[in-house]
Amino acid sequence: MKWIDEFRNPHLAQALLTQIRERAGQPIRLMEFCGGHTHAILRFGIRTLLPSALEMASGPGCPVCVTSSTDLDRAIAMARIPGAILTTFGDMVRVPGNHGSLQSARAEGADVRIVYSPRDAVRLAQKTPDRPVIFLGVGFETTAPGVAASILEAHEQHLDNYFVYSLHKLTPPAMRAILDAGEVKLSGILGPGHVTTVIGTEPWKSLSAQYHIPIAVAGFEPLDILRAVSMLVDQIHQNQVRVDNAYSRSVHAEGNTTARTIMNRVFEVCDAEWRGMGMIPQSGMIPRNEYAAFDASKAFETTVKPVSEPSGCRCGEVLRGILLPTQCPLFRRTCDPDNPVGPCMVSAEGACAAYYQFGDQPRED
Amino acid sequence: MKMCLAVPVLIRSIDGSNAVVDLGGVSRTISLTLTPEAKTGDYVLIHAGYAIGVLDESEAKETLDLLNQMMTLDEKGQPSKESDST
């Protein structure tokens, strides 16, 4: 088992496509929650192979994209604290806030460093005991357990200069917000494979039952995605509603209980602001009181002016699945990966970046 | 760094809660804090320096077997039906 090649077998993909084409009679619109799915769908040309009756809408599953510009401005303000080192994942550095980006703050002298893991930020805090090291934590349930583990590690080592600015977000509340808003009519949802590896299928089962919508949890290789689409088309065809698991080599019903225990030990749920979607109740994660000493938002007072989104940027509608990136008037004209106006063009998981990189592909049929 | 993407890697050796993995021909140390059940020789999904799940080889084979069966049935022109593996 090589774990990747087998799940890219073109003959099996063709068989799945035949099955999808046979059963997708009525118009169907599926949302892939996860930005990783959007990229895989475009990268492997899956969009061109699906029947034209079947539409794929991209969802809000890009953590960088849904970070509000006010929260980003706060992170930039933290980076400018004299002596502080602000660490984060690569994608975050280029996202434009209301007053520049972390990258432009760095050009002006702020110490902003890209790390691969929050563990690297803990090591940096060990090496620089006289400087505060702030980790800007962005990501869903896939990322939050590791960041929680980094706080526990810093706690065990009695580090007093490691801080996390937690902008972590929970996926089911965002999916509920999209379904509640009803702006986009969906026939089914392609569930996020790596989030579900951690949270398990239960949260999706209650969501599927409540909103009466089919869900299939998918991995990120072409066969994973096609199999999940095929399962959704079958459910719709047979008028059934359930949660199918098309990623059983990684996703178990109960999820990763160790990861969840660590995440819930360190973080508690709070309201959070999502770019393009506004405030969503109980959709964010901040350190519990017991770990408040590691909470950068408590340790460092920052004042930022509330401001509006960049003029003309329609990332919000892209994130809610009501606009294709190519329908945004800025796409390719004034907004491209070298000069991104909004976060969806920056992130490796952003829908605009995916459409820019792989093109808006015409259907085969 | 793709935030919700995680890649399958082979665990070469384990030392406490750390493991050495082979990532595209490069050795890298990752944390097994979130997957204490992982053993040497297992494939894990790594994300931001942490293993977030152990991959299940029997489930992977079962999925591929199902797809192969479906393709064989399709080729014979018989109605194919994918079974639910939830």
Q: What residues form DSSP beta bridges with A279?
A: A273
Confidence check: pLDDT of B80 > 60: no
Choose the final residue of a domain: A311, A326, A343. Answer: A311
Residue A319 domain boundaries: 315-358
Which of A61, A90, A249 shows the shortest C-beta gap to B60?
A249
A319 with A307, same domain: the answer is no
- The reply to whether A364 falls in a domain is no
Q: What is the pLDDT of residue B1?
A: 43
A167 with A32, same domain: the answer is yes
A132 with A184, same domain: the answer is yes
Q: CA of B19 to nearest chain A CA: how many angstroms apart?
A: 14
Judged by a CB distance cut-off of 8 A, whether residue B29 touches chain A is: no
CATH of domain B7-75: 2.30.30.140
Q: From B83, which residue of chain A is nearest by alpha-carbon distance?
A: A231
- pTM for this entry: 0.93
What is the spatial distance between Cα A17 and Cα A9, in angstroms, rounded to a whole number?
12
Query: Count of domains in chain A?
Result: 2
User: Per the CB < 8 Å rule, is B70 touching A15?
Assistant: yes
Q: What is the pLDDT of residue A365?
A: 67
A205 with A293, same domain: the answer is yes
pLDDT by 10s per residue, chain A, length 365: 888 999 999 999 999 999 999 998 889 999 999 999 999 999 999 999 999 999 999 999 999 999 998 999 999 999 999 999 999 998 899 998 887 899 999 999 999 999 999 999 999 999 999 999 999 999 999 999 999 999 999 999 999 999 999 999 999 999 999 999 999 999 999 999 999 999 999 999 999 999 999 999 999 999 999 999 999 999 999 999 999 999 999 999 999 999 999 999 999 999 999 998 999 999 999 999 999 999 999 999 888 887 766 778 899 999 999 999 999 999 999 999 988 988 999 887 899 999 999 987 777 66
pLDDT tens per residue, range A125-149: 999 999 999 999 999 999 999 999 9
CB atoms within 10 A of CB B84: 12
Please list, residue by residue across A331-357, b when 16 or more beta carbons sit within 10 angstroms of its beta carbon and e when fewer do.
Answer: beeebeeeebbbbbbbbbbbbbbbbbe
A142 with A38, same domain: the answer is yes
Largest CA-CA distance found in chain B, in angstroms, rounded: 54
